[in-house]
Amino acid sequence: MDMRAKINAALKEAMREKDQGRLSTLRLVNAAIKDREIAMRGSNEEHEINDSDVMQILGKMVKQRHESARAYEEGGRLELAEQELSEIKILETFLPRQLTDDEVKAAIDAAIAAIDAQSIRDMGRVMAVLKEKYTGQMDFASVGPRVKDRLSI
C-alpha cells in the first residue's frame, strides 16, 4: 500500500472514530499533497506524487510543527504547543523510524564509499545518495555539516 493510500485509510478511520484531532491533521496532509500536485502541474515535466514526495511533505510538516511548538512555548502558549506536539505524533506514525547518531554516521560513510567521494566537491552527490535512501529517516539540515566535515578530512 502506498503512502497516499495509507493516509486516506487513516483519514477514513478517523472519520469513523470521530477523532477530530487526527482527522484535521490528516486533512492538512492531504491538502499539502494536493498543493504539491498543483505546483507540479505548472512545471513542464509530468510527474506523479510518489512515496518519496509524500515523505518529504510529512518531514517538512513535522519540522514546521517543531518550530511552532518551540515558539508557542517561548510565548507561554502551552495549549497551542501541546496541539502542535500532538500533530507531530500523528504525522510521525507515517514516517519511518529516525536513524540514531551511529546509524547516520554509518549511512554517511556508506554513501561516501558508494560514490567514491574524495573532496568537498562531491558533497552534492553524497547528499543526493542519502536523500534517495533515507528520506524521512534523518534531518538533512544536521547531516549536511557532518558530510562536509567528513569530506574535509
Taking only the tens place, the pLDDT of each residue in 52-90 is: 888 889 988 998 999 999 999 999 999 999 999 999 999
**74 and 106 assigned to the same domain:** no
Determine the pLDDT at residue 151.
84
**82 and 106 assigned to the same domain:** no
90: which residues sit within 8 A by CB, 6+ positions away? 21, 22, 25, 26
- Per the CB < 8 A criterion, the answer to whether 51 and 2 are in contact is yes
146: which residues sit within 8 A by CB, 6+ positions away? 104, 105, 108
**78 and 56 assigned to the same domain:** yes
CATH of the domain at 81: 1.10.1510.10
**74 and 25 assigned to the same domain:** yes
Determine the pLDDT at residue 18.
94
Domain count, the chain: 2
Instruction: Give the residue numbers spanning the domain of 30.
Output: 3-92
CATH of the domain at 127: 1.10.10.410
Give the end of a domain, one of 40, 64, 92: 92
Q: What is the pTM of this model?
A: 0.73
